Amino acid sequence: MAHEESVKLEGTFLPVTTPFNPVTGDVDYAAFGANLRRWFGSPIRGILIAGSTGESVFLDEGERSKLIEEARAVVPDEALVIAGTGSEATRHTIQLTQQAADAGADAVLVSPPAYFKGAMTQETLISHYGAVADASPVPVLIYQVPLRLSTIEFSTGLVATLSDHPNIIGIKDSRGEIGLLVELVEQSADGFQVLTGNGSVLYPALGIGAVGGIVAVGLMAADQAANISVAFREGRLEEAERLQEQIASVNQSIVAGMGVPGIKAALDLLGFSGGGPRPPLTPVSELRIEEVKGILETADLLECVGV
């Protein structure tokens, strides 16, 4: 089934971090809003709230909803707000999805239930995602979580089957393998939108038919990541390739190599509110902070903040 009237996802999205008060551990909504205002100084298409980078598994339902509400009050009207709503139970996933829509999310990103991994057959996953999509007031994206985390790997055939559902409009695939993205683009229903979740391959992903990306490296390099999509769309391919080369090592070293604590340390160095992650995650060491600073300097990302 084609998705002619679905939400359009072309461009670069940022899977935003969640800042916490260092004393109370509560979500720092003022810092969250300040970060968003600065990120939207770049031509990003929108944001993902409560994704892996947003420490979704550590957020309670009230925090998720308030983050969406705070974002809706800050982001430009034309920007999209996607919310992560995956949970282990179908019933709970539906509840989170409906809450996200009520709070102002334009679409939801649903990770697979992975705790009972051996029981998650293709038929079970089709039933789960179908029930969520049937009940969702907003369009649903499938989330192929990075395989370094606890997750399920979707077969291309499973995604192709799910792409026939009129309310399942796309996938964020964070595996970073272009060959698999090609399969998804070629075998999914017309209008089904493939986005990469790996900032090292945004430019080549666009070249094979992906519509954009939801990439954490863009939190540290919003201009570069956003303009990869803009330059590609406008036919300035050499510029898009140059920008990709600039940020690829940052993605590999910080996003893939250090995860959320490393990303938050980088944000602090860049003048954002990064802060520490929520326990049991721990901040990076002072030695790691120096390593992060060196990576950002090498990529020419610290010049604009005078570090």
Known catalytic residues are 172
Reference 82, options 42, 140, 41, 23; nearest CA is 140
113: amino acid identity, one letter: P
The answer to whether 2 and 190 have CB atoms below 8 angstroms apart is: yes
The answer to whether 153 and 112 have CB atoms below 8 angstroms apart is: no
Q: 292: Cβ–Cβ under 8 A, 6 or more apart, which residues?
A: 254, 258, 262, 265, 266, 269, 284
**Count, residues in the chain:** 307
Instruction: Record the tokens describing residue 260, joined without a space.
Output: 């959320």
The answer to whether 4 and 169 have CB atoms below 8 angstroms apart is: no
The answer to whether 28 and 275 have CB atoms below 8 angstroms apart is: yes
Query: In angstroms, what CA-CA distances link 166 with 13, 50, 134, 232?
Result: 23, 24, 9, 28
Q: 124: Cβ–Cβ under 8 A, 6 or more apart, which residues?
A: none
Handedness of CA 24, 28, 30, 31 (dihedral sign): positive
